[in-house]
Chain A
Amino acid sequence: MKKKVLSLMLVSAMAASLFAGCGSDSSSQTEGESVDTSSELTWKIGGIGPTTGSAAQYGQGVMNAIQLAVDEVNEAGGINGYQISFNFQDDEADQQKSVNAYNTLKDWGMQILEGTVTSGACTAVAAETYNDRIFQLTPSASSTDVTSGHDNTFQVCFSDPNQGTVSADYISENNLATKIGVIYDSSDPYSTGVYQNFATEAANVGLEIVATEAFTSDNKTDFSTQLQKCKDAGADLLFLPFYYQEGSVVLTQANQMGYEPTMFGVDGFDGLLGVENFDVKLAEGVYLLTPFAADAEDEATQSFVSKYEEQFGGTPNQFAADAYDGIYILKAALESTDLTPEASNEEICDALIAAIQEVSYDGLTGNSMTWSDAGEVSKDPKAVIIQDGGYVSVE
C-alpha cells in the first residue's frame, strides 16, 4: 500500500513538473508578459480575448499582434520614455469570464485596456471600465452597445452600423443588384448587428431584400437550405455578414448547386483566401468591405505580415491588424499628453479621452483615422473584390 502511494505521488509530481515546464516555456510566446515589471516603472497595458474555445483564433490573433506591436514600441524606446508591459488574459468569449479576466488584470495593475475581442464580452467589460475609470480601446468589438453611454471606450474597428449601412449604400450606388438575399448568423451579435443595419438602410435606399435566412452557431456546416431558398427567391446578390470560415462553406456549397449570385461580405470575410482546403477560385468576384488586406503592397502592411508570419506562423487577419494599430494609436495619444506611468488610472483615462479625439492616425487598417466622443472610429471602409487570388480595390 505504501509503495503504491509513494509511486502515485512520484508520478503526479513528475506529471506536474512536466506541465510546469510547458507553462514557463510557452509563457514567453503565448501569454504575453514581455517585460519583467518588478522593478522599473512601465505602462501596464492589458488585453482580453478568447484564446481558448470556439472564438480562439480571433483572440490568438489579437494577442500575437499586440505582442508584436509592444515589442516594436519597446525596442524603439517605449512611450514617453517608458517601456510597455503587456498582459493578456483569456475570456473564452464569455461575459462573466471576461469580467473575471478584467479583474485579474486590475489586480496586476493594468492602466489601459486594449480589449476585448468579442462584442458581448466587451459590453460587459465596458461597464466595469466605465465605473473604474480605466481607458479602454477595443480592437474588434463592433457593437454599438460597447461605446454607447461609456465615454472611456473607443473602437479601432468599424461599428456594426457603419458596416451594414455602408454596404447597403455601396450596393445601391453601384447598382450591383436589385434582388438581395441575406444569410446571417442569428446567434452572433456581430452578424445580427450588421444585418439589422443593412436591412434598415436597404429599405431607405430602395434595395429589395427577397430572402432573409438565418443560421446559428450550433449548425453552421450546412447552408444548402438557406442557399436554396435564396436561389428560389431569385436573389442575384447574397449579403453575407459573418466570418470567413462559414463564408468558405457557403461559397463551396453555392458552387456545388450551381448558384452564382454576386457574393458580398463584410470585414469578417477577410481571411477567406487563407482557409485550408478551400478552393480559392470559388472566391473570385467576391466583394468584401475590409479595412485590411494581408497582401497589400504598402510597406507597413508587408513588414507587419512578414514579422507576424515569422514569429507566430499563419497569416494575420484584420483582428490582428486592428489590434496592432491599437497599440500605436495608444502610443500616439499618450505621446500627445506627456503623461508618465506614475499617473493614476483616472488621470490617464481622462487625458486619453481628450487626446484620442485629437489624434489622426495612419495605420494598417485605414488612413487618417479619427475618433469622436461617441467612441466610434471614422475611417472609410474599403470595398475590395477578389481577383486572381488577391484583393483588388474597387471604386
Chain B
Amino acid sequence: MNAYKKLNKSTQKLLINIVVIFAVYIVVTIMDASGNLSSLMRGLLVPVCAYSLVAVGLNLCVGYLGELSLGHAGFMCIGAFTSAFFSKAFQDTIPDVPRFILALIIGTAMAAIFGFLIAIPVLRLKGDYLAIVTLAFGEIIKNVITVMYVGKDSNGFHFSLKDQMSLGMELDGKMIINGAQGISGTPRQSTFGLAVLLLIVALIITHNFVNSRTGRAVKAIRDNQIAAETVGLPITKYKLTAFTLSAAIAGVGGVLYAHNINSLTATTNNFGYNMSIMILVYVVLGGIGSFSGSIIAAVVLTLLPEMLRGLSNYRMLIYSIVLIGLMLFNWAPSILKWRQQHGLKAILSKFNKNKEVQ
C-alpha cells in the first residue's frame, strides 16, 4: 500500500485501470467457463477490445496532440488488411502462433508507416483543415483497398488494380485480396485474453508516452504552439511521433478485428468515415484525454445497439436518443454542476464528513 501511495497520481490511475480491466477479464472468463455468457456477448468480446484500442489510439491524437483526426478507421483498415493478407498468404507455410505474432507486428508497423507518411503533409495543417484532410485520407485508403487484387500461385505473388483476370494467374493460384470482395478465410486467432493483454499494453505505452519527456513536449505544443516553438522544441518531430504512435495503436485494433472474422471487406460501415466518426464519438463521450473513458465509451456504445435488438428497427432511433442523453449527461455544463452537488462523489464525501464529525 505504501509503495502504491508513493507513485504519482497518474500512475495510480493507470494501475487502477489495469486492475479493473483484469478483474472484468477474470469475471467474464469465469462466466464463460460456467456457461453463463450468452453467445452474443461472447462474440462481442474481441470487437469491443478492438474498438477500445482504436479509441485509445485516437484519444492520444485528439487529447494530447490536440489534433482532430477523422481518418483513424483508415489506419485500422490498414492494420486489418495487411495482417490478414499476411496470415492468409502464409497460412500453410508458417505455424499458427509465430504467424499471428508476425501478422500483429506487420499490421502495427504498416499502420505506423502509413500514419507517418500521411502525417508529413497533414500535420502542416491545423484544426478543421486537418480534420478534413485526414477524412480524405481515410477514404482513399478504403477505396484503394476495394480495387486491389492480389493473388498467389506457384510463380509467386500477382498484383493488379484493375481486375482479377489481369493477374494472369496459373490455375492453382488463389486470390488473397479480391477487390471489393476483400479477404475471406482469414484464420480466426484473436482471443479475448490476447485482446485484453494488448489493450493493457497499449494503455501502459500511452501512459508512459504521455508522461515522458516527448509526451510533455507534445502537450506543450498542444497548449501553445508558438510558446513551444520559442522554447526551441522541434514541433514537427514531436507531432509526427505522437501521430504515428496513435496510428500504430489503431492498427493493433485492426489486426484484432481482422483475425476475429472470416470475411473482411472495406465498406463505409466498418472502415469508412462512418467508423472514423464512431471512434471519435467514443473519444468525445469518454472524455478527451481520458484513456479509461475512451474504453468505457467504446464498450458501452458497442454493446448498446446489440442490447437494444429487442426493439427491432426502432433501436437505431433509441440508440441515437440514448447517445444524445449520454452526451448531455456527461458534458452539459448545467448537468455537470448538478452532478457535482448531487452525484455519487458528493454523497460519498458528505457521508465521510459526517463520519469525521462523529
Q: Interface on A for B, CB 8 Å cutoff?
A: 15, 19, 22-23, 26-27, 30-31, 51-53, 89-90, 92-97, 99-104, 106-107, 119-121, 123-124, 126-128, 143, 145, 149, 185-189, 191-193, 195-196, 199-200, 203, 212, 214, 216-218
Whether A94 and B267, one on each chain, are in contact in the complex, defined by CB atoms closer than 8 angstroms, is yes
CA distance A15 to B320 in the complex (A): 14
Checking A107, A185, A199 against B39 with a beta-carbon cut-off of 8 angstroms, the contacting residue is A107
Whether B261 and A186, one on each chain, are in contact in the complex, defined by CB atoms closer than 8 angstroms, is no
Could you give 10 example pairs across A and B, Cβ below 8 Å? A19-B311, A52-B313, A102-B43, A103-B43, A104-B306, A126-B262, A127-B262, A187-B267, A189-B182, A216-B146
For B42, list chain A residues within 8 Å (CB).
Answer: 103
Residue of B nearest to A145 (CB): B184
Residue of B nearest to A149 (CB): B185
Whether B269 and A199, one on each chain, are in contact in the complex, defined by CB atoms closer than 8 angstroms, is no
For A200, list chain B residues within 8 Å (CB).
Answer: 165
Q: Mark B295-306, 1 if CB is under 8 A from A, else 0.
A: 000000000001
Whether B314 and A103, one on each chain, are in contact in the complex, defined by CB atoms closer than 8 angstroms, is no
Whether B317 and A186, one on each chain, are in contact in the complex, defined by CB atoms closer than 8 angstroms, is no
Q: Verify if B268 is at the interface (C-beta below 8 Å from A).
A: yes
- Size of interface on B: residues with Cβ below 8 Å to A: 42
Residue of A nearest to B40 (CB): A103
For B43, list chain A residues within 8 Å (CB).
Answer: 99-100, 102-103
Whether A124 and B314, one on each chain, are in contact in the complex, defined by CB atoms closer than 8 angstroms, is no
Cβ distance A264 to chain B, nearest Cβ, rounded Å: 19
Q: Interface on B for A, CB 8 Å cutoff?
A: 38-40, 42-44, 47, 143, 146-147, 163-165, 178-182, 184-185, 188, 257, 261-265, 267-270, 306, 309-314, 316-318, 321
Checking A90, A107, A187 against B180 with a beta-carbon cut-off of 8 angstroms, the contacting residue is A187
For B164, list chain A residues within 8 Å (CB).
Answer: 196
Whether A31 and B262, one on each chain, are in contact in the complex, defined by CB atoms closer than 8 angstroms, is no
Checking B165, B181, B267, B309 against A145 with a beta-carbon cut-off of 8 angstroms, the contacting residue is B181
CA distance A95 to B179 in the complex (A): 16
CA distance A99 to B314 in the complex (A): 20
Contacts A145-B263, A186-B146, A186-B180: A90 and B306 contacting too (C-beta < 8 A)?
no
CA distance A104 to B38 in the complex (A): 8
Contacts A103-B40, A196-B165, A199-B163: A96 and B270 contacting too (C-beta < 8 A)?
yes
Whether A100 and B44, one on each chain, are in contact in the complex, defined by CB atoms closer than 8 angstroms, is yes
For B180, list chain A residues within 8 Å (CB).
Answer: 185-189, 191-192
For B257, list chain A residues within 8 Å (CB).
Answer: 96
Residue of A nearest to B341 (CB): A1
Given contacts A94-B270, A189-B182, 12 further A-B contacts (CB under 8 A): A26-B313, A94-B269, A100-B44, A101-B309, A104-B40, A104-B306, A104-B309, A123-B262, A126-B262, A186-B146, A187-B267, A195-B163
Cβ distance A32 to chain B, nearest Cβ, rounded Å: 10
CA distance A347 to B310 in the complex (A): 29
Whether B261 and A120, one on each chain, are in contact in the complex, defined by CB atoms closer than 8 angstroms, is no
Cβ distance A220 to chain B, nearest Cβ, rounded Å: 13
Whether A95 and B318, one on each chain, are in contact in the complex, defined by CB atoms closer than 8 angstroms, is no
Residue of A nearest to B303 (CB): A100
CA distance A26 to B311 in the complex (A): 9
CA distance A187 to B271 in the complex (A): 13
CA distance A121 to B269 in the complex (A): 12
Whether B40 and A95, one on each chain, are in contact in the complex, defined by CB atoms closer than 8 angstroms, is no
For B181, list chain A residues within 8 Å (CB).
Answer: 119-120, 143, 145, 189, 192-193
Residue of A nearest to B165 (CB): A199
Cβ distance B77 to chain A, nearest Cβ, rounded Å: 13
Of all A-B residue pairs in the complex, the 5 with the closest CB atoms, nearest first, are A127-B262, A123-B263, A31-B312, A103-B43, A103-B39
Checking B40, B146, B316 against A187 with a beta-carbon cut-off of 8 angstroms, the contacting residue is B146
CA distance A22 to B180 in the complex (A): 38
CA distance A96 to B76 in the complex (A): 15
